[in-house]
Structure 1
């Protein structure tokens, strides 16, 4: 997934009110950027760190920039939660994820009764319901999710379990937007209910794909599918 417009470089001053971040650009101008990540962003926040922003030319927007990534310990971490959906959609359509590379029709934002899932992938013999989550939290060598309690994420797991029982293939894709981890695990210390539900989902046939992506100021590119464990 290549960025449509050149990104703007700066340094993080602070993130506040969950959805806002003040950044001083290389030009010396201080701007407020929109932060799409509503979580705690633990392990990917550092005042003064290098960041990149997307300029937004929309008179209806209060902020003129969207925060895309931050450099932590020499590694880029993608924090824009809207990018993983687009990344996975393109990757499935282009047959770039092993195990999810045999679909001929791919649709975004599909409603299943009370829930809306990110992707429906289809071929002549099966339908695959897919939910995508963004992962930024690092704990040692582990990438973990979530970084804050998530009722919405829990609802999506229950929907996938139900769809699997109804005959769909059901898949959870965790997009890990950082390269300094080797294994995925649920963050049971942060949200034990979600961790339990994820294990139950796997036991009921929901497949787990922790997809690691390399983030640069030019593009976000899927590198590999990581292994996962339920207990660290």
Structure 2
């Protein structure tokens, strides 16, 4: 079995991988949620992916894929895609990671933005539906929507990688909360080490870019952090500057 490159940001592991790891070669993607893979011994198998985005620029035939075994009762496929390596480094594509990383970083006291908040609730309900997290403390509620970022162009991390009505709806709801005087934020989890800043992907979803900047003007905060995939899990990197005005 092949090993995974070490992290670009040395330091303690924030999140371990979700199970025993296996490195394979990408044969192809099908039905949005499935990837056909082949390991070094020539054995082919299918892994589940929860990433419904295009994963633009990542899914090249022959690219390395890091899959982890998850023996959850009722699963049809034991392997899930954790990351893809189309070139020199791994890119994390598991969309469940950002909220878990947010929670782990809050619990470890690694996010200055969440200092003083005492409780963390995942997928809280509110009048507009659900968001990914609600932190509460003496300062009041902090609503957070997390996003997984896998696209980088000219050293700028960008989101989304495909037009997303759902992502635009989240901006609308966060803006409404901010205008009511409640704290609301976006946590962009950049799962690759080559980004130097963050901005909306105007070329992919111009409407998202416009609504993103309207959300910032409404008081919504945007936190973009690098999260590196290493052979033993995920490590939190630095915070990226946010910009990207047209």
Distance change (3 Å), C-alpha of 1:202 and 1:69: same
Q: Which among 218, 222, 242 is matched to residue 204 of structure 1?
A: 218
With structure 1 as the length reference, what TM-score do the two structures score? 0.95
Please give the alpha-carbon distance, in whole angstroms, between the structure 2 residues aligned to 1:130 and 1:186. Answer: 17
For the pair 1:130 / 2:144, whether they are aligned, the reply is yes
The 5 Å alignment of 1:15-34 reads: 15-34=29-48
Q: CA deviation at 1:165?
A: 1.8
Q: Which among 96, 106, 116 is matched to residue 130 of structure 2?
A: 116
With structure 2 as the length reference, what TM-score do the two structures score? 0.90
Please give the alpha-carbon distance, in whole angstroms, between the structure 2 residues aligned to 1:39 and 1:82. Answer: 13
Please give the alpha-carbon distance, in whole angstroms, between the structure 1 residues aligned to 2:133 and 2:68. Answer: 25
Please give the alpha-carbon distance, in whole angstroms, between the structure 1 residues aligned to 2:48 and 2:169. Answer: 26
Equivalenced residues, count: 232
Asked if 1 retains the 8 angstrom alpha-carbon contact of 2:19 and 2:70, the reply is: no
Q: What secondary structure sits across from 1:222 in the alignment? A: strand
Q: Which among 213, 216, 223 is matched to residue 237 of structure 2?
A: 223
Counterpart residue number, 1:157: 171
Distance change (3 Å), C-alpha of 1:98 and 1:59: closer
Query: Aligned-residue CA RMSD in angstroms?
Result: 1.4
Please give the alpha-carbon distance, in whole angstroms, between the structure 2 residues aligned to 1:12 and 1:192. Answer: 31
Q: Which among 68, 85, 100 is matched to residue 54 of structure 1?
A: 68
Counterpart residue number, 1:103: 117
Asked if 2 retains the 8 angstrom alpha-carbon contact of 1:135 and 1:176, the reply is: yes
Q: Which ranges of structure 1 fall in alignment gaps of 5 or more residues?
A: none
Q: Which ranges of structure 2 fall in alignment gaps of 5 or more residues?
A: 1-14
Counterpart residue number, 1:147: 161
Please give the alpha-carbon distance, in whole angstroms, between the structure 2 residues aligned to 1:93 and 1:121. Answer: 11
Counterpart residue number, 2:186: 172
Please give the alpha-carbon distance, in whole angstroms, between the structure 2 residues aligned to 1:147 and 1:43. Answer: 10
Please give the alpha-carbon distance, in whole angstroms, between the structure 2 residues aligned to 1:10 and 1:104. Answer: 41
Q: CA deviation at 1:218?
A: 1.4
Q: CA deviation at 1:93?
A: 2.2
Please give the alpha-carbon distance, in whole angstroms, between the structure 2 residues aligned to 1:225 and 1:210. Answer: 6
**Once the two structures are superposed, what CA deviation does each residue of 1:150-179 show, in whole Å capped at 9, x if it has no partner?**
111111111111111222111001000000
Q: CA deviation at 1:4?
A: 4.2
For the pair 1:84 / 2:107, whether they are aligned, the reply is no
